[in-house]
Structure 1
Amino acid sequence: MKFINYLEKISGVSIYPVVSLLLFTAVFVLVIIYAMRASRDTIAEMENIPLDDQ
């Protein structure tokens, strides 16, 4: 039995792809907004995190 047959038996399963797409899009947009609004000092500090010896 194929996996798709199990999915067909679940009622309301078609909403899961929509919810996951909306969740991904929301997180992506929030990260883009955070990156655009961050100050140059914050960006420079984050750039140097891998090089810190601490």
Structure 2
Amino acid sequence: MKLKNYLETIAGVSVYPIVSLLLFVAFFTIVTLWVMRTDKDTIKHIEKLPLDN
């Protein structure tokens, strides 16, 4: 049997792709908003962290 046949027999399996898409969109939106709202001084500090040593 193929994996598709196993997944078709599980009740409610169609919910998982929807939930994972919503989680991805929520995470992407939160990260995008955080990046857009962060002030430039913080960004400059973060971008120089690898060179501090």
TM normalised by structure 1 equals 0.93
The size of the alignment, in residue pairs, is 53
| Cα distance between partner residues in 2 of 1:15 and 1:21 | 10
Residue aligned with 1:50, SS: helix
Runs of 4+ more than 6 Å apart? none
Structure 2: state its 5+ residue gaps.
none
Aligned-partner SS, 2:26: helix
Structure 2 length-normalised TM: 0.95
Q: Give the Cα separation in 2 of the matches to 1:6 and 1:45.
A: 51
Give the alignment's Cα RMSD to 1 decimal: 0.6
Deviation at 1:8, TM superposition (A): 0.5
Cα distance between partner residues in 2 of 1:11 and 1:49: 49
State the identity as a percent. 57
Which residue in the other structure is 1:3 paired with?
3
Q: Which runs of 5+ in 1 are unaligned?
A: none
- Please state how far the C-alpha of 1:34 moved relative to its aligned partner: 0.2
Q: Structure 2 counterpart of 1:3, which letter?
A: L
2:27 corresponding residue in structure 1: 27
Task: Give the drift of 1:50.
Answer: 1.4
